[in-house]
Chain A
Amino acid sequence: MHRAPETFLSRRTLVLSASIAALAPASPLFAHAARPMLTITEPSGRVRELEDEDIAALPWHQIATRTRWTEGVQTFRGPLLRDVLTGGGMSRSDLAGRKLLVKALNDYGIVLPAGDAWDYAPILAREMNGKPMRVRDKGPLWLVYPRDQRPELQRAVMDERWVWQLFEITIL
C-alpha cells in the first residue's frame, strides 16, 4: 500500500529543482516547490494542506468505470472524498447542505453539493490502472464517481463534476 512519496512534480522537475537550488539557493523557485498536493479550506477559514503521504495514509477505495474522456473501463484508486473532507474534524452533519468549490490546476472550477461525497461515494483518485497519475495524466488527483454503477450519474451534468488536476477544495 505504501509507495514512495511523490509530489505532483515529475522526477525531472525534482532534478531540475535540485540543480536550480544548487545554483541559486535563494531562488524563488523554492517558494513553490513545497506546494501541497491538496489544499482544503474549511468554512471557519482554517486551511488544511495535504501532501502525498497524507493522501496515501487514508484508506483507499477502488472504482472501475468508463469515463467520458477515456476509452474502455479504467480502474481508479484513491481515498474517498468524504474521508478527505472529514479528516479535519468536520462531521457529515457539519457538511450537510454545504457546497464544495473544487478547482483544477488550469483554473477550472465547479461548485458541487457536499452531499455528493455520501450520496455517490466518489473518490479522489490518485492512481489510474495501478499507476500514479501525473499532471500530464490528469493527475495528481481526479474526482471519480462510480459512473457505471449508478445510472443517475450517466448524465452530462454529472460528468462536469469529474474535476481532474484537482488541487484545491473550498468548503462553502
Chain B
Amino acid sequence: MRLRGSHFALLTIASFVLLFVYSLFQLVNIDHAFREELVERNLWAANQADREAQNLMLTLYRVSLDRDVEDVLLRFDILYSRIALMADRPQIDYFREIGAGDLVAQARSLLEELDAAFQAQDFDPTDVAALMPRVVVLASVLREITNATALEERLARHVRREALLRVMQLLLLAVGGAFLTGVVMAGLLWRNMRRAMRAQAELQEHRAELERTVAARTTELQEALEVERRAKEVYRSFIVTVSHQFRTPVSIIHMIAQRQLRDEETPLSETLRRKFSRILDAAERLERLLSGFLASASVEGKDIALSRRIVDFNQIARIAAEQTRQANPGRVLEVALSETPLQADADPVLLEQAVLNLLSNAMKYSEAPSPVSLETWRDGGRIFCRVKDRGAGIPPGARGAVFDRFYRAPNVHRLPGVGVGLSLVRDIVALHGGEVTFTSRLGEGSEFVVAVPAKGEQDDESAARAGDHSLCRG
C-alpha cells in the first residue's frame, strides 16, 4: 500500500516533469522562431521593394521635369537590389511557402524587361517616362506581394501568440502540479517524521520505565540479600562465639571425667564410675558437636580452598568407619568397600568429615542393635558411597528440608543435635562437584548416597557443576 503510494507520487512528479520539459522545448522553439524573425524580415523586404518601386515611379515622373536620368538609374538599381533580395535564398523559400513565389518570379521578369529597356542601344534618356506603364505593373505586383506577406505575418503572429499562450499554460500547469505534489509529499514526509519521532519517544519512555523497574527490583533484591546475609552473619558469629565459649568448659568437664576414670590410686565406686563414664561420653559428644559447628561456620563464612590431591576414597571411608566404631563401641557398623581403589581428586579431610557426619547421623537416628552399613563402589565416572541405617526414618514433610542448615526433623527433637551436619555434607560434596541424595521410609530407616566424580572425570564434572555450586551452598 505504502509502496504503491510512493510509486504513484513518483509517477505524478515524473509526468509533471515531462510536461515541464515538453513545454520548455516548445517555448525554446517559439523563442527560436521569434529570433529568426523570418516573417517580419520578409515583410520588411517586400515593403522595401514596394517602396522602392514607388520611389522609382516618383523619380520617373520627376525626370520629365528635371531630366535627371542618373537618379532614375540609381533608383532602378536600388529597386533591382530589393527585388533581387526577395528572389534570393533564403527569402524566396518563404515567399514560395506563402504562395507568393510566382508573384516574385513575375516581379523578377518585369524587372529584367525594364533592365533590358534601360540597356537598349536605342534608349532615349529623355523619354524614360515611357517606361512608366511597366513600372506601374511592377509596382502593383510588388504591392500584391506586400499584402500577401502582411496578411501572412498577421496570421503567423496570431498563431504564435496562441502557441505561446498554450505553452505558458502547460508550463504553469507543470510547475503548479509539481509544486502541489511536492507540498503534498512534504506534508506526508513531515507526518511520517512526526510519527517516527513520537514512536521513538514512546519507546524511549518505555525503555526508561523498564530501566527504572529493573533498578528498583534490583535494589529491593540487593536489600533483601543484604538483610539475609547480615542475618546469616549474625547466626554464624553467634554460633562461633557460643561454640568457642562452650569448648573450654566442655574440655574441662571432659578432662575431669577422664582423670576420675583413670585414677588408679582412688578407685571409684561402680556407681560413680558409671556416672563419670556417662559424663565423659556426653562431654565427648558435645565436643564433636562444637567441632562440627565450628567447621560448618568456617565452611559457610568463607570460600574454602580445597586442598585437593589424589586420594583413595576407600581409605577415607575406612578412617571414618574406624572413628565411628570408636565413638560408638556398642554399635554394629557393616563396612563393604569396593575391592578396587577408588581414585578421586579430593580434599581428604573435608570428605572424611562428610562421611563421618553421615555415619554419626546414622548412629544417632537408629537404635542399637540395628546395624549401620557403609558401602562404596564405582559406576562409570562416579564414585558412590552409601550410608544406611534402620532407624526412625525421615518424615515425608521434612524430606525437602533435611539439607537446610539448622533444620531438624520433628521426630528427632528429643535427640541431641543442631541441624548443621547434613548441610555441611551437602556443601562439601558440592565443592567436589558431586551430590548427595537420600531415600527414607518412616519407621524403616534412611539411606544417603554421596556421588563424587572419579579421577579423570572430575574436570568435566566440576565444570558442569560449577554453576550450581553457590546454589548448593546458599
* Residues of A near any B CB (own CB < 8 A): 9-10, 12-13, 16-17, 19-20, 27-29, 32-33, 68-71, 105-106, 134-138, 156, 165
Contacts and interface: CB of A to CB of B under 8 A. Distances in A.
Interface centre among B35, B37, B66, B125 (most CB of A within 10 A): B125
Interface stretch (B68-76, B206-214, B268-276, B453-461): B68-76
B69 A29 contact: yes
Interface in B51-104: 51-52, 55, 66-71, 73-74, 77-78, 80-82, 84-85, 88-91
Contacts of A33: 70
Nearest to B34: A156
Nearest to A155: B35
Contacts of B190: none
B119 interface: yes
Interface centre among B41, B55, B81, B118 (most CB of A within 10 A): B81
A136 B69 contact: no
Interface residues of B, number: 30
Given A12-B119, A135-B81, A156-B35, A71 B90 contact: yes
Contacts of B119: 12
Interface centre among A13, A19, A27 (most CB of B within 10 A): A13
Contacts of A28: 66-68
B48 interface: yes
Contact of B78 (A9, A12, A32, A135): A135
Contacts of B77: 10, 134-136
Nearest to B81: A136
Given A12-B119, A69-B85, 5 more contacts: A16-B73, A68-B41, A135-B81, A137-B84, A165-B81
Interface string B97-136: 0000000000000000000001100010100000000000
Contacts of B89: 70-71
A32 B68 contact: yes
A148 to B, nearest CB: 16
A32 B71 contact: yes
B37 A156 contact: yes
Contacts of B68: 28-29, 32
